[in-house]
Structure 1
């Protein structure tokens, strides 16, 4: 029992957000199925089963267009905060640390500690890749989910066109279509707004006990300090 409690405590952030993700995805599927069938009924078409909706391009494009924007947010934030600074924000590095920093600061190469990841001291291409592995993964997931959005998006777009007795378009044509960019940019603008707002609001506002906030008594000028 103690070991189970320790596991839950040590992994609470991942477990709670993971469970929240699954519940939200299930809720999206249920609500989306109902809304999709309402549209079909309004067009005098046969409603789709719940299982059929889960395998449909309409459900897939709604999911992937959100995923790509979230991974874009993290990719830009991870790489952007290497060089970009915000005075007074805990979301920024300290003002004198812009850039990739030295091996001593990053504990790589000969400065690696006994408990450092093995590739931190490996040198060569392995260390170069590992030093950028988090941002690289976020970029890869963004590109893959954006590709998935484009593929499922054109399928959903053409399905709607066929129901309206209009000619379908190719994937390349869809990449330049207003529908694709409307879906994409409506998510990008919200993610960029959220990150920018968090960076500046955290200069002046506090949340006691959160590492995303400075300590309550810290100066507004304190930069790169977490509570």
Structure 2
């Protein structure tokens, strides 16, 4: 167990942080939502009811959507776009290890590499494909949750519900998306540019402390 935790400590810590954060979001979100419902003369929701509410679904997946979009674009754009001096960029001179064709005879090569053909073709792009699929799923669930939340508000006012086709053209859903997308793009811009001039000893996201500012990569 100790060896497992050491070998996977980064993912374990971030998973625990995620669970703590989403628990905090759930309980504070339920409290805030029930406060609004009480003020509107509606019955507060139980924890089970809130879990399936549009308010919780929308708030959760609008954030996941922006995260997976940011990561997918970063993985794809760093294939052919560069930033001189940044640890997040490939070097300008020649090909790097990540650019070479996979060797099926390499010891420990993953099964898709040894299999070859269309399986290998998919595997070559599996990271970006997975992130784009997660973005699409999160985008869809965000849309579903946002529409559900809107219709729950309309029902409380005795108004008819909106259709999906109409709601997706309105400003609320896209405002929710853009306010998250812009923050993700800004954070990527910040790490790409700041890693040119600033350092963090011991972090693979930083160049060596004594590396020149114009040295790209590690």
TM-score, with structure 2 as normaliser = 0.94
Q: 1:198 aligns with which of 184, 191, 196?
A: 191
Contact 2:61 2:141 in 1 (8 A): yes
**C-alpha contact (below 8 Å) 1:103/1:109 kept by paired residues:** no
Q: 1:87 — aligned with what? A: 84
RMSD of the alignment, in Å? 1.7
Distance 1:142 1:96, change over 3 A: same
Matched, 1:73 2:67: no
- 1:64-90 Cα deviation digits (max 9, x unpaired): 111111100110000010011000001
* 3-state SS in 2 of match to 1:47: coil
Separation in 2, partners of 1:105, 1:172:
43
Greater RCO (CA < 8 Å, at least 6 residues apart): 2
Q: Deviations over 1:118-167 (max 9, x none)?
A: 32243321111100000000000000110111111111111112222333
Matches of 1:145 and 1:109, distance apart in 2: 35
Q: Aligned equivalents of 1:96 and 1:186: distance in 2?
A: 37
Runs ≥4 residues deviating over 6 A: none
Q: Does 1:108 align with 2:102?
A: yes
Q: Contact 2:54 / 2:148 at 8 angstroms: preserved in 1?
A: yes
Corresponding residue to 1:135 among 115, 118, 128: 128
Which residue number corresponds to residue 42 of structure 2? 45
- C-alpha displacement at 1:43, in angstroms? 0.7
Unaligned runs of 5+ in 1: none
How many pairs does the alignment contain? 218
Pick closer, same or farther for the CA change 1:105–1:15 going to 2, 3 Å.
same
Query: Cα distance 1:30–1:115, how it changes in 2: closer, same or farther (>3 A)?
Result: same
Q: Within 5 A, what are the aligned runs for 1:9-28?
A: 9-28=6-25
What residue number does 1:145 align with? Answer: 138
